[in-house]
Every structure is written in structure tokens, then in C-alpha cells.
Amino acid sequence: MKAQVLHTYDPALTAPEWVRGAEVADPKIVKSSDVIIRIGGAGVCRTDLHIIEGIWRPHTDPSGTALLPLIMGHENAGWIEEIGPEVEGFKKGDPVIVHPKVTGGTCIACRRGHDMHGEGKFPGLDSNGGYAELLQTSARNLIALPKTLAPKDVAPYADAGLTAYRAAKKAAQQLLPDQAAVVIGAGGLGHIGIQVLRAMCAARIIVVDTSDASLSLAAEHGADHLIKADGGEVDAVLALTGGKGAEAVIDFVGEKGTTKKGLDMTRPMGSYYVVGYGEEIRVPTVDMVITEKNIIGNLVGTWAELTELMALADRGLVELATKHYRLDQANQALQDLHQGKIRGRAVLVP
């Protein structure tokens, strides 16, 4: 099959090309529960840039470069190509979206439904993913797509959408109609988070971003207030929230100073949700005591939550802005993402 393969890390992200096209062996059914997916779309994610930089190396490649060459791509949707002998309920040609964590289903995390904390591979990060024509996964990871949703249009929901959904759902379950939520960063994840908040709670939604294009995307998707992040964004949020800050702040950026600003926008007893990552959070412990603010991490989402998100998408309550690239344009897609040129999400279509 054709694939785009990462051969070397690039900590400064300055190389002209990061992945190379190659003809590689097709993935095979190994376990009886395995499934081979013909990729219809593979989302291009900021995590892929972080993999290239080597941020994930201590977690996925501690011995050095043993992981490489790697086929990235953890946001996958497509059609069933082949099923293992024990797989039931799916047949060749069925359209599916793939939960990114391959889980066995028998550990305590899986049995409690916390799929992303289960034991198993995360294709695209620690084993071969979907920047290719075919992907090996497990039947347990699949969600059948309704007729309304095409694989190339929904692939980024598998991680970007699911992560935004999980954080926004946690916030929505706490938020009351007289309260406010701040979304920092209305890019690929943020524009989904805004729609999930809109669909699941009645709080006011304040969106903060450095880019006019992202703010216009936020306005189309239900933001009540738009704030250009030009240095005065904390004051602007305080002015909109009676000087106290918002009950929920969801930070889809997590670098370039947004963690301090995000916490400064959070009201006492409010919650600051970390989604984007890169920098350190530094808070005097006395401030945590006095304000009783919560700092909440978010890791992808459960299989059940991906099903919930597909229900919102099927009913048109959440829409994904996508830009499609051919598989052999993977470097272009990664570059465009790196340079902030993508409105919504980039998707590779083999």
C-alpha cells in the first residue's frame, strides 16, 4: 500500500519535508478481533507536529529512535476492508470511524468505560496509523457511520472532535444559563468545542483567539462574544463577567502564555480545562487555596463519547470545517497546519 512515513525527528520543525511517500507492506489481521480499514480520511493533527518535534519521544520512543520509521495519523475513518474470524456486526464496505486507542477490553479502565486509559496501542503515535491506504485496528474501536456522514468529512472527530467534545461536555454539565464559558483558541478543536457547548448548555460563550479567521469561524458556530487576543484579553473577559471571570475556561492552546491568562480569566471556584498543551502551568499553591479554582486535564474521550458526538453530527448540531489534501500532499498539510493556514481541520484523502 501507499503510505507517508516519518523517518527522523525534527525538534525545530525547520526541515523542508517531514514525511516521505513509500510503498509498504499491507497491514495484516493478527488477532481474531482485528479489522483492516480502507482509509477514507486521516486527520492531520497538531499532535503530529509534536511527534515530529519529539515531544512524545519519552512516552512512545524512550530508547531513542526505535519507533521510526512511523506512519502517523490517529484520526481515522473509512470502510471495512477485512475482518478477523471472530468479528461480528461489521462486513466489508461498511463505513466506520475509528476510536484512536486500541483496547483489549479486559483491564479495569476499559471495563469502567475509560477507553483512553486502557492498555493498548495508539496507532499513529506508538504504532502505524492512518497516513496510508490501510490501517489495522480492532473491532472494539469501531463506530458505524450513519448514511449522512462520509469518512473524509468526519475523520478528525476521532481525536480532535472527541477531545473537544469531552472537555466541553464536562464544562456543559456544570454550567448554568446565567454563567459564562471562555473558549481559548477557535481552531480545529475549538470550533467543535463551541458547537458542543451551544448544543449542550445555555451559558454565554466567549471566544478568545489571535486570528480574525478563527474568530469569524467562531461567530458562525455560535459564539456570543469575540475577543481578539492582543494582550488585553484577560481584561476583556473580566469586563464581560462582572470583574470575576468565567465559570469555565477551556484552553485549546496551552502554550504561548495562555495557561496563565486562562487561569486569570477563571472565576473563583471555576474550572480551567487544559486541552492544548506545550507549556508548564505555574500557580502559587496559596492561590489555589484562596480561589478554589480547579485545573482539569482532558485526554481524548471514551468510545461512548465518540458515539454521542456522532449523534450530534448526524443531527447537524456539530459541523466540522475541513480542508482536504491528497495523501501525497501530507507535507503540505503539515506545513499549512504549522503556519496556521488551515480553517478547521486538514484531512488526507488517499
Determine, following the binding rule CB under 5 A, whether residue 164 of this chain makes contact with Zn ion: no
Distances (CA, A) of 57 to 13, 125, 220: 15, 10, 38
* Interface region with Zn ion, contact rule CB under 5 A, candidates 158-166, 229-237, 271-279, 286-294: 158-166
Tell me: cis bond preceding 69? Omega within 30 of 0 counts: yes
Residue among 302, 35, 31, 303 at smallest CA distance from 143? 303
Residues 216, 296, 212: CA angle, nearest 5 degrees: 15
- The nearest distance, CB 141 to Zn ion, in angstroms, is 15
Smaller CB distance to Zn ion: residue 246 or 333?
333
Eight-class DSSP state of 257 = T
**x/- letters, 207..236, toward Zn ion (CB under 5 A):** ------------------------------
Smaller CB distance to Zn ion: residue 45 or 49?
45
Q: How far apart are CA 61 and CA 273, in angstroms?
A: 28
**DSSP labels for 34-57?**
EEEEEEEEEEE-HHHHHHHHTTTH
Determine, following the binding rule CB under 5 A, whether residue 159 of this chain makes contact with Zn ion: yes
H/E stretch holding 248 reads strand 246-251
Determine, following the binding rule CB under 5 A, whether residue 298 of this chain makes contact with Zn ion: no
Q: Where are the alpha helices (DSSP H) in 9-121?
A: 46-53, 57-60, 108-111
* Interface region with Zn ion, contact rule CB under 5 A, candidates 121-129, 155-163, 180-188, 240-248: 155-163
- The nearest distance, CB 93 to Zn ion, in angstroms, is 26
Determine, following the binding rule CB under 5 A, whether residue 153 of this chain makes contact with Zn ion: no
* Interface region with Zn ion, contact rule CB under 5 A, candidates 22-30, 156-164, 174-182, 296-304: 156-164
Say how many CA atoms lie within 13 Å of 323 toward its Cβ: 18
Burial label, 30 (beta-carbon count in 10 A; 0-12, 13-18, 19+): exposed
- For the segment 11-50, give every residue that binds Zn ion (CB under 5 A): 45, 47
Smaller CB distance to Zn ion: residue 156 or 262?
156
Contact call for residues 299 and 116 (beta carbons, < 8 A): yes
- The nearest distance, CB 160 to Zn ion, in angstroms, is 5
- The nearest distance, CB 264 to Zn ion, in angstroms, is 28
Smaller CB distance to Zn ion: residue 95 or 161?
161
Smaller CB distance to Zn ion: residue 43 or 95?
43
Three cell numbers, residue 57:
519521544
Three cell numbers, residue 71:
506512519
Contact call for residues 191 and 323 (beta carbons, < 8 A): no
Smaller CB distance to Zn ion: residue 137 or 241?
137
* Interface region with Zn ion, contact rule CB under 5 A, candidates 159-167, 192-200, 242-250, 318-326: 159-167
* Interface region with Zn ion, contact rule CB under 5 A, candidates 26-34, 128-136, 157-165, 190-198: 157-165
Smaller CB distance to Zn ion: residue 76 or 179?
76
- The nearest distance, CB 147 to Zn ion, in angstroms, is 26
Gap between the terminal Cα atoms of the chain = 10
Smaller CB distance to Zn ion: residue 191 or 204?
191
How many residues bind to Zn ion according to rule CB under 5 A?
3
Three cell numbers, residue 32:
481474531
Residues forming contacts to Zn ion in the complex (CB under 5 A) are 45, 47, 159
